[in-house]
Every structure is written in C-alpha cells, then in structure tokens.
Amino acid sequence: MSPNNIIAKAKEVGLHLISVTDHNMVENSLPTYTIGKKFGITVLFGMEVQTSEEIHLLAFFDNYDLAHTFQDKIYNLLPDIQNDAEYFGDQVVVDEENEIIRFETRLLLNSAQISITDATKWIKDHGGLAIPSHIDSPTFSIISQLGYIPEDLPFDALEVRNKEKIIDLLPLIMKKDIPFVTFSDAHYLKDIGRRRISLDLKKPNCSEIANALKQLL
C-alpha cells in the first residue's frame, strides 16, 4: 500500500478523489497527494482517529499543515506505549519514491484521550470533514460504543460498510438529516474502489464535499 501503488490502483478503477486515512496519523497523505496531482487524482489529507470512547472517526482536510497540527494534537493524547513491531508490524512513514523516511515508535493503535465531541469540534472548527467510520461495525463504531448517535454532533455524514443495514440503524440515529456514505476502507490494493460514492463537485475540496453530501439527503 505505497503511495505510488495506491494512486495507480485508484487510476485503474476510475476514482477521482481519495484519501489515505492511517490510524491516528496523516503523514502518508502528503506523498500520496503529490503523486495524485500528477495523475489527476485529488487526495484529501486524512486520518482515522480513535477517540477515548474507542470510536473510529474519519477526519479530512484540504490543508496539510492543519492536518498535521491535528495529528500532533492526537499524538500527544496517545498513551506513551512503544510499538511492538514483531507483533503489530512496522509503522512507517514513506516519501514519493516509496522510501521509508522513518519508523513511528509509539503505538498508533491505541485510543487518544479526546472525546468524540471534542475531536469532531476541532475538525469542524478548522474546516475539515468529520465522518464516523463503519457505524454498522460491532467494534470501534459510534453505535457499538455509545449505543446511538447523538443529535448534537455536527457530522458531515455517517459511513457504513453495508447499505442494507441502514434501515436497522435509523432508530439509533437521533439526527435525521444526515447522509450515509460508503468508502473502500481498503487495507489491500485489491480493495481500493470496492465501495464508492459519486458527488457533483465544483471543486474537490472539503467545503464543496460538505455541500454535495447534503444533496444526498
């Protein structure tokens, strides 16, 4: 899943806008963004935050500096536990040539000490998109952890793996005017593009995406 291979696969399957959302890290978004520009593919700077409630929340930004600031905030809220590379695998940051720049030694698979409320507020206050991941999953989803989706959280959309489950989830969603989306959630190249959405965008940025998502209602 190197940046070059991700962009090549995205091009092959006809995707125009993607994001790399590593666990509690945005750095690998940058080389993917740079390569994507050469092939006409927009890459949002993203990460999948694991909140203190053990909820997975997707964060997307147009601006890398903002995204990296958010990464720094999350990093400082993670437990100071070292990664066991033999057990969990290496946590690498790479460049545009797929060369390893560094190994992240702190374990990124933990929960940051930030609530879903505060994480969402930070993302939205800084012009990003906030979308809870795989809300139909029995683990690490907002429904599995809270039992419902509060009305007062300003999410841009809710991500599901299986659209057929949406009707069963509706009673647990307090805010009714929120769209559903489905993403690849690809951990292997073969899975890129297996699930996707289509949006009518004037420009491929977070503001336009937020507006286009509202049109899905």
Which tens digit of pLDDT belongs to each residue from 124-177? 999 999 999 999 999 999 999 999 999 999 999 999 998 888 889 999 998 888
CATH superfamily of 3-214: Metal-dependent hydrolases (3.20.20.140)
HSE toward the beta carbon, residue 96, CA cutoff 13 A: 8
Average pLDDT for residues 89-96, to the nearest whole number? 95
Domain residue spans in the chain? 3-214
Task: Map tokens 């720094």 to a residue.
Answer: 72
Question: In the structure encoding, which two tokens stand for residue 177, read together?
Answer: 């005017």
Question: In the structure encoding, which two tokens stand for residue 5, read together?
Answer: 């291979």
Q: What is the pTM of this model?
A: 0.95
Report DSSP letters for 41-98, one per residue.
Answer: -EEEEEEEEE-TTS-EEEEEES-HHHHHHHHHHHHTTS---B--HHHH---EEE-TTS
Task: Map tokens 């699930």 to a residue.
Answer: 195
Whole-angstrom Cα distance, residue 23 to residue 20? 10
